[in-house]
Amino acid sequence: MMQIAVFSDIHGNHAAFEQCVEYALSYNVNMFIFLGDYLGEFPYPQKTMEMIYRLKEKYTCYFIRGNKEDYWINRRNNNHCEWKNGNLTVGSMKYCYNNLTEKDIHFFQSLPISQEIKFEGASTIMACHGSPNRNNEKMLPANDKTNQIINECASKYILCGHTHIQGVINHGNKVVLNPGAVGVSLHSGGKAQFMILQQNIREWTYKFIHIDYDKEKIIKEMQNSGLEAMAPYWIQITKHLMLTGEVSHGTVLARAMKLCEEEIGASNWYNIPSKYWEKAIAELLTS
């Protein structure tokens, strides 16, 4: 019987990733689908990449390119990379990029933003990070744009990530499945999330997984690696999200930008003064 583990949004959280892989293998998973955003907010990104390469060698794996991968590719090609000269706002991006190898960049460049996966005797699956059309587009429930995307997709089953929210969207006779996020999941109680697909004749059944992992290990690594010093505000949000499963980086970033705009009339997402980060964090993470 075919059983597939579906991972998305690891964001470099190697401790969570390792726990998810161990669980999947204990469940007799024999195939993996990765929906992108392999690195991002966590220390020692090579630990995550090494695990990915090992799985790639040993198992049948499908890999999709997320929007995070575009950051690293564009930075290497010096395209659309205003953030390279930003302040502490983009410290985690700089840290991650500085730890990438040529092998990593070439791997990311080889990945599609979506892929139709065909299985003998079973319904095809469309795998993507955001949507089949764009890897930074969110597929949200009760949303007209999402419904249009579903209607235009030939596959009955669509796998997507990007929102970091585990869930199902049913529209007509089609199903959108979001496995949640391995690294920093939202509305999860701080658990790592992924999904297991199981073939049932032509159709697919799914099981959402939520598991805990060694967060204290990761927090210590944030300090010891120098990541926290490079990105103090971003890492503060990451820690809160790890422990509670609430308040996304995007929410705090938007508030910091709004505070900056209100006071000085403009803001750049990659270069926000520290005082606005401190105000936004005080409002959203400690209230």
Answer yes or no: are the C-beta atoms of 261 and 267 closer than 8 Å. Answer: yes
pLDDT at 25: 97
> DSSP letters along the chain, please?
--EEEEE---TT-HHHHHHHHHHHHHTT--EEEE-S---SSSS-HHHHHHHHHHHHHHSEEEE---HHHHHHHHHHHTSS-GGGG--GGGHHHHHHHHT--HHHHHHHHT--SEEEEEETTEEEEEEESS-SS-TT----TT-HHHHHHHHH---SEEE--SS---EEEEETTEEEEE---SSS-SSSTT-EEEEEEEEETTEEEEEEEEE---HHHHHHHHHHTSHHHH-HHHHHHHHHHHHHS-S-HHHHHHHHHHHHHHHHS---TT---HHHHHHHHHHHH--
Q: Check residue 276 and give its pLDDT.
A: 98
What pLDDT, in 10s, does the model give residues 23-45? 999 999 999 999 999 999 999 99
Q: Is the pLDDT of residue 120 over 80?
A: yes
List of long-range contacts for 251-256, beta carbons under 8 Å, 24+ apart:
251/284, 252/277, 252/280, 252/281, 252/284, 252/285, 253/89, 253/280, 255/280, 255/283, 255/284, 256/280
Tell me the C-alpha distance between 152 and 61, whole Å.
Answer: 26
* Whole-number percent of the chain with pLDDT over 90: 94
Question: Strand 3-7 vs strand 114-119: parallel, antiparallel, or unpaired?
Answer: unpaired
The CATH code of the domain at 3-211 is 3.60.21.10
pLDDT reported for residue 201: 85
Q: What is the mean pLDDT of residues 87-110?
A: 97
| DSSP string for residues in 50-74 | HHHHHHHHHSEEEE---HHHHHHHH
pLDDT at position 131 is: 98
Question: If pLDDT is split at 50, 70 and 90, which confidence band does 80 have?
Answer: confident
For residue range 165-222, what is the model confidence (pLDDT) as tens digits? 999 999 999 999 999 999 999 999 999 999 999 998 889 999 999 999 999 999 999 9
Question: Over the stretch 266-279, which tens digit does the pLDDT of each residue have?
Answer: 999 999 999 999 99
**Quick one: average pLDDT of 16-29?**
97
Task: Kindly state the tokens that stand for 80.
Answer: 């659309």
pLDDT surpassing 60 at residue 287: no
- Give one DSSP letter per residue of 14-53, joined into a string: HHHHHHHHHHHHHTT--EEEE-S---SSSS-HHHHHHHHH
Give the position of tokens 């391995």. 182
Half-sphere exposure of 109 (CA within 13 A, CB side): 11
Across the chain, what does the average pLDDT equal?
A: 96
Q: What is the pLDDT of residue 122?
A: 87
pLDDT surpasses 70 at 16:
yes
Contact of 158 with 139, CB cutoff 8 Å:
yes
Chain mean position to CA 282? 25
pLDDT given at position 48: 98
214-252 pLDDT per residue, tens: 999 999 999 999 999 999 999 999 999 999 999 999 999
Which pTM was predicted?
0.97
- Closest C-alpha among 151, 149, 172 to residue 160: 149
Q: Is the dihedral of CA 275, 276, 279, 280 positive or negative?
A: negative
The CATH 3.60.21.10 domain(s) of the chain lie at 3-211
